[in-house]
Structures are given as structure tokens and as C-alpha cells.
Amino acid sequence: MLLPMERSTATNHAAVLDAARTLFADHGYRGTSMKDIAEVLGVRAPSLYNHVASKQDILHAIMDKAMDRAITALDEALAGISDVSEQLRRATESLVLDFLRYPAEVTVCNNEVRSLDPGNRIAIVAKRDQYAGRLRKIIEQGCRSGRFQTRTPQLAAFAVLEMGNGAKSWFKASGRYTDTYVAGEYGEFALRVVGCTDSSGRSPSAKGPQRSKPQVS
């Protein structure tokens, strides 16, 4: 059995997660039934249990994978970057890009933490706090070194983290810009929020050279 069975629609673990992701994002965990997920795959609800252990496991798998991907992206964005302004810019761009490219996963992560069983919840929340903590520490470091000017670094961190949600909900509606352009704009917003005046080479001013062009889609 070298080649997997070729059905018209292959139903496997990943396919179930794919179908559930959109439904969870659109109608919520409790607003989505196993029957709903099965219908997307052209299958009856009990058949899903050949691929997943439970509905709860679907939710946990979706969120766990999404958090790992976001954390990995942050790792790569910050690799080898020592300048704190550039760290904040790249971290924000990474965050926003993840939001724009995987809006369903992000929506689920934002809204369905409460739907996780206690055991799964503490695991996901730990990864979430780890991510937020890294961004907060960048801002705190920038404030200590005098590069950033804000009285409330923790408040600024939360402001930056949440800004990305605006990008996500807006990006879906209007397709005027590319995801990388929007991410670049939010990178600027983040540096402005923390009161950074010298962004080490790249200009934060609207009159400076643009990093990428807006593009009609």
C-alpha cells in the first residue's frame, strides 16, 4: 500500500481539522455540531470518530497547531536581531502576517479558549502567555534602554497585540493591500505606540521610503 486510497474526497485527520476550523471560526465551538463538520466532508457524523477521538480533541488540535505555528514564526522573525526597535517591528509584522494568513485559526484561538477542557486550556493559555510575554519583554527592554518612550510598557504591549485583530477583520473585507504591506504598516503603528523615534535605518515617517507598495488585489 504505497499510495493512499484515492477517493473523491479524502477524509483523514487533517481534513477533519480543516473543515472544523472554518466552522468553529464562523459559528463557534458550541455552535458547530459534529454533523456540521461531517457534512462539509460529505460524510455522516459518526464516521468522524475514525479520525479523531472527540469534538474537544478537534478544538485542542486546531489551537495547539496554531499556537505552535505563531511561536515558530516569531522565533524566525527575531532570529539574529539584536536591535530592539527592529525586534518590535519584526515581531509585530510576524504577528499581523500570521493573523492575515490564518484568520480562522486566530479567530478560534481568540474566542474559544473558554471552550477548552481544563487540562487543554492551561496548556494553550501557557503558550499564549509565552507569546505575549516575549512581546512585552521587547517593549520593556526598549523602555529601559531609552529607545522607547511610554509610561506604560505593559499597556502598550497589549495595545500592539490587539491591533492585529483589527487588521484581520478589516483585511477580510477590503482587498486593497497585500498582507505584507498591511503587516508593514502595523509594524510602524507598533513603533509609534511605544514612542520610538529612531527605528534604526528604516524610516517610521510617512515621508520616508516605503517598504512595499500597496497593491490592488
In 41-178, alpha helices (H): 55-78, 84-101, 103-111, 118-144, 153-173
Q: Which cell goes with 174?
A: 477590503
Range 55-114, binding DNA (CB under 7 A): 55-56
Closest CB 11 distance from DNA, rounded Å? 3
Other C-beta atoms within 10 Å of 202: how many?
15
Contacts of 108 (CB under 8 A, 6+ apart): 21, 24, 25, 29, 59, 62, 63, 66
Q: Could you give the count of Cα atoms lying within 13 Å of 87 in the half-sphere of its Cβ? A: 20
Q: Which cell goes with 88?
A: 518590535
Q: Which cell goes with 202?
A: 528604516
- 187 three-state secondary structure: helix
Closest CB 47 distance from DNA, rounded Å? 3
186 to 215: interface string for a copy of itself, x by CB under 8 A: x--x--xx-x---------xxx--x---x-
Residue 193 binds which of DNA, a copy of itself, none (CB < 5-8 A, kind-dependent) = a copy of itself
131 to 170: interface string for a copy of itself, x by CB under 8 A: ------------------xxxx-xxx-xxxxxxxxxx-xx
Verify binding: residue 50, DNA, rule CB under 7 A. Answer: yes
- Residue closer to a copy of itself by CB (options 131, 158) is 158
**R_g (Cα) of the chain, nearest Å:** 20
Residue 158 binds which of DNA, a copy of itself, none (CB < 5-8 A, kind-dependent) = a copy of itself
Closest CB 122 distance from DNA, rounded Å? 19
Closest CB 18 distance from DNA, rounded Å? 14
Residues that bind DNA (CB under 7 A): 1-3, 5, 7, 11-12, 32-36, 38, 43-47, 49-51, 54-56
